[in-house]
Structure 1
Amino acid sequence: MPHALRAVVLAVTAGLALTACGALGSDEAPDRAATAPATPGGATPSPSGPEPTECPHGQLIKAVEIPAVHADPVHIPEATIGGEKVPAVTIPGVDIPAQRVPAQCVEEKPAPGACLGAVAVPGTSIPGTAIPGVRIPGVQAGGASAAPVEEPAKSQKAIDQSAVSVAEVCQSKPSEEGQYVASVYRPSVYRPSLYRPSLYRPSLYRPRACNDQGECVPPVNVPSVTVPSVSVPSVSVPSASLKSYVAGPGQVIKGDDQIAYNIEADVLFDFGKADIKPAAAKSLAELAESIRKEVPSGAPIQVDGHTDAKGDPASNKALSERRAQAIVDWLATKGGLDRARLKATGYGETKPAAPNTRPDGSDDPRARAKNRRVVISAARS
């Protein structure tokens, strides 16, 4: 393998503990270094607005329909016993409206090449419900007596499940040799199932009431009412990983559905410049050949430029954009790839592969060199 190609390394280089992508830097100005801020984690709230019917960046969590519950009213007609009237009574029915656990989207955010994007499963809730209480009045008339019968209201509180998420991951533990990061790993994301038990109000029965003359008031029965249980299935996004190996243009990072190549910027460009060095042509030609073998014809190809943290952030971003565009232009004009497939993005210093400074705060030129890079990535399916 040519020496220049050995500079092609993982998009996440060696010497780093497991982190999520944070801020990066550039090599445009030599007077400032910055450490990478931690990427915030935590749960992602459920999206507001209309319910989704499809999710362009993740799986659709289907809605759960909770049917309405209806029970007819019970009418107790007027009666006469022992010459006394017992007035008619209507015991109200039950009407519990239908409820719905809305559809949601699992959000899998796009990520730079050789990174695994953040995943967020929104929180959800099964709403509460209640069955009203009921009472059959008693009878005290014409020598007949029957005690009232009643059943209190029943209720279930809302059942909530919190959002769960995992941050974007761009690097993992280095290999034993300390030269390359062996893999990029994003753990699975799991939101447990949710369950609201059934709710039950028993039937009520008032027996008939008779006097000594054998006159009776008929019995009354109010049927039971049941609100069925509700289950919201669990949601799982499996873990994902990208493995590295040496092939074609050098160090490659590859997963089931994507492949990425990282080229250190110092191999391609002079310090602070965006003109490709003539010596880099052979490396780029082999890279283009590997892309033709590994990537389906017509699949989009992303070219991401990165810098270290030296200099002004705006200047770093502009430099990273120019470098990414220079690689796009080379691959389109000399590498034999269709320009329509190629897209350039500059991240400047916002996605470091390594801290720009040592633990004591001093400048770390070797680490900054790893941050000055261009990552070419594409989907494999």
Structure 2
Amino acid sequence: MNRIFKKLCPLLLVGVIGLLAGSEDKRFAISENKAGKRIDITIDGKPFTSYIYPENLMKPVLYPLRTAQGTFITRGWPLAPRSGERVDHPHHVGMWFNYGNVNGLDFWNNSNVIPAERKSGYGAIKHFSVDKMKTYSDRAELDVTMYWQKPDGSNLLREETKYIFSGKGERRDIELITKLTALKEEVSFKDNKEGLLGIRLTRELEHPSDKPEKFTDASGKATDVAKMNNEAVTGKYSSSEGREGDNVWGTRGKWMNLNGKIGNEPVSLVILDNSKNVGYPTYWHARGYGLFAANPLGQKEFSKGKDVLDYKLAAGQSVVFRYKVLINSGSNLTDDQVNAEFTAFSRTK
């Protein structure tokens, strides 16, 4: 009997380990809805975010983003409006990646409200394929291909993006690795403030606004941003270089941390740049009204002409951008904590 038990023990142990590993694998799930043009990512059985590409959007986006507690950190409008939200900049949806001047075409400001007679000046990014969907014990990965298209539908750039979704405890993270390849012609990313990785925030994470403002895009179109009720509005930016509040706009930094509170839930939203990126350290196109964006390519605008990049890709040439987004719930991340995350991220290949 003892001999049989000794033989069975290793098998039982392997079985237990297998069950534990299986339960870990189930922490992350990805499900594709081709008809709905969406891919849903869940962690611990709770919705985290979705990769969506409906026809009424001019680029695929991650929408919405949630904390570990399920709280929305992105604005609902225009897809799913919530009471008290701003209704400006209809092209600000969830989290996206695009640019304001690519061979003279504006990919950033394009939306379904642009009139037909002006569409010739705008480009669109179209989802092409899902190349990988896989879950592991500590993450989920989604690889997709998109094409940056001219108004006539011809392809200018191929985009291949890997999203890595992870989360433990009160943290949720998104790492993205985006490869852009110029196709049949040289592609110019002329210096422009509208770019590159953007997130549009829920009202509670905006800065309190004490006056109405007007913002003008690269084509000269102005958007009014009204003064609003500041009740429960708690957001505050802080950068790796010690800048705070609205003073972070147009400055360079290795990372940006937005601390705030949604109801009784303290929240930190962080974007980490990567030392391997073109234009590192990035300039920050971060506005108090709720636009949180990293733009390493629009250097002339932010530096008042001191720095000029006008980045170009020759036909067939590629460039890779890496970013990581941290969403922390239950407490605000300190500078030391974010610095440690930045150092670890910069070491990744």
Q: Pick the TM interval, shorter chain.
A: under 0.3
**Structure 1 length as normaliser, TM-score?**
0.25
**Structure 2 length as normaliser, TM-score?**
0.27
Relative contact order, higher structure (CA 8 A, sep 6+): 1
